[in-house]
A = this chain, B = another copy of it.
Amino acid sequence: MADRAIGVFDSGIGGLTVLKALLSQLPGESLIYLGDTARVPYGTKSAQTVRRYALEAAGFLVARQVKLLVCACNTASSVALSDLEDRFTQPIVGVIEPGARRAAALTRSGRVGIIGTEGTIKSGSYKRAVRALNPDIEVFSAPCPLFVPLVEEGWADHAVAVAVAREYLAPLMAAGIDTLVLGCTHYPVLKSTLRQAMGPGIELVDSAEETAKTVANMLRAGDLIRGDSPPAPRFFVTDEPDRFVRVGTGVLGINLERVEKVEID
């Protein structure tokens, strides 16, 4: 059982930040990644549609005998996690709870900011998760729909990205947050732009790192850590692989090999 792979899925390339963190924290694990690139993005779509897509994506990985599922998409984690838990018997890790836990531990002012897609923010998932941990924390949210296109365009460090970040973050800064959760897997690429837009003194919470820690803890607790010499990660996408390979390699600095197109709908 420990030898089985971890299955990671996302709407597209964003979840590669989670995969990267898993590779770094769990170097002995075998990993399978699925990016639903034919239907990306999830963040502007309805909860009902995202649920259908997430169940299809997870089903593809479960059919490949994974020992644990990682829902590396914040939008899908926000609206589909309980549906996934109802449908499948494998342990499932979403990206919301790990990020919320870290933010609750870090904040000193008790004022936490959340940024994410329309779908993630609209769901209120982070707010619920943070306040379940500590009901005294105040949570301020802002949807940032232009961040994903800016990252995918390779403009993460462009002056335009800083201007957009200033506008999106203004209400959170005015609210006096001291901790900001990057509630979308694309956003870690924007870290230096966000710091530039916000000035010093704000802690950034990277859900990818926190999620990988949660996965490591669960595998250890279940005695499911794999030995060494894992096979290279395998990548599946639902559209032709070329854009996934280009953007994933360029933006995230991940070397993408063994990428295969599949149909999951």
Contacts and interface: CB of A to CB of B under 8 A. Distances in A.
Interface of A: 37-40, 44-46, 48-49, 145-146, 149-150, 152-153, 155, 159-160, 163-164, 167, 238-240, 242-243, 265
Contact of A46 (B150, B160, B242): B242
A96 B46 CA distance: 31
12 contacts: A37-B45, A40-B44, A44-B243, A45-B239, A49-B238, A146-B146, A146-B149, A146-B150, A149-B149, A160-B167, A163-B163, A265-B265
Given A39-B39, A44-B243, A239-B46, A159 B150 contact: no
Contacts of A146: 146, 149-150, 153, 155
Contacts of A153: 145-146
Nearest to A243: B44
A205 B39 CA distance: 30
A39 to B, nearest CB: 5
Contact of A145 (B149, B239, B240, B265): B149
A239 B149 contact: no
Nearest to A242: B46
A46 B238 CA distance: 10
Nearest to A52: B38
Contact of A240 (B37, B49, B164, B242): B49
Contacts of A45: 37-38, 239, 243
Nearest to A150: B146
A85 to B, nearest CB: 23
Contacts of A39: 38-39
A91 B150 CA distance: 39
Contacts of A160: 160, 163-164, 167
A38 B44 contact: no
A150 B37 CA distance: 21
Contact of A243 (B46, B150, B152, B238): B46
**Across the A-B interface, the 8 shortest Cβ-Cβ residue pairs:** A46-B240, A149-B149, A49-B239, A38-B49, A46-B239, A39-B39, A45-B239, A145-B153
